[in-house]
Amino acid sequence: MGEIQRITSVRFSRYKAFRDFSVTLDRFNILVGPNNSGKSTILGAFRILGEAIRKASAKSPALVQGPHGETRGYQVSLGNIPVATENVFYDYNEEQPASVSFRVSTGDHMTLFFPERGICNLICETSGRPITSPSTFRQHFSVSIGFVPILGPVEHDEPLYQKEAAREALLTHRASRNFRNIWHHYPDSFDEFRLLIQTTWPGMDIKKPEVDMSHDEPLLRMFCPEERMDREIFWAGFGFQVWCQMLTFMVNQCCPITSRTGSTGYLDRHR
């Protein structure tokens, strides 16, 4: 078995605060720095790349605008990415394009190219067989990107939301507020999640969410079985709530959540 692919470096060209900036990555990296030093800019570029990889893994390339003219690539939708993309151009100068290039350990490159406002294209540069299908893309770029949304205490009274609303909250600060909704609407991997709870937090267990109709609006409850009586997860302690969220993201990172429209969302994991 060959070495697992990973991203080894990133180069920013006229992208937001970076006129020309490169960062080299090892197997484990910690990003630190003062406010407004560009940490969020770097992470935001990885979020866009994650969306681009998901598209390229499912669709064949088409003709798009690249740094050197028309080429085969993928147009990336920026609408549902939790990143400020209104202006990605250095010094607010839209006369010149912006780009972010990611080098993979194989030597191949994936470049996010921003020719104009609101447009992002993924351009792939490979040393071998050109990319013509999702399978050839995955052969060249078997990398994945994941983020853990902001962790926090679950809601005391969590309303029952629509399925699409729960899916859209997965990558935002609202993820913890939709914790029960996630498992209510997407229960396929709940048994795996529950087994992880039982094996990693001795003495604790958890049940699938239940709908509580005794209020003005439907609420979701999620109980942790105990010897005397079941306890709602809100009363199980902040540490346990955060651990449940972490395991939720880890389980579902391998199980894409697909909406009715066919678009895919992932519960993200930060590596």
Stretch(es) of the chain classified as CATH 3.40.50? 7-140
Tens digit of pLDDT per residue, the chain (271 long)?
456 899 999 999 999 999 999 999 999 998 988 878 889 899 999 999 999 999 999 999 999 999 999 999 999 998 877 777 778 999 889 999 999 999 999 999 999 999 999 999 999 999 878 899 999 999 899 998 877 777 889 999 999 999 888 877 766 677 888 999 999 999 999 999 999 999 999 989 999 999 999 999 999 999 999 777 899 999 998 999 999 998 988 887 655 444 333 333 443 333 3
**What is the distance, to the nearest Å, from the Cα of residue 81 to the centroid of all Cα atoms in its chain?**
9
78: left (phi over 0), alpha (psi -120 to 50) or beta: alpha
pLDDT of residue 262: 38
Contact by Cβ (8 Å): 141, 127: no
Q: Enter the CATH code of domain 7-140.
A: 3.40.50
- What's the confidence (pLDDT) of residue 271? 31
Dihedral sign for Cα atoms in the order 18, 24, 30, 34: negative
Of 2, 35, 42, nearest in space to 18 by CA: 42
The first and second tokens of residue 75, run together, are 């147009």
Q: What pLDDT is recorded for position 254?
A: 52
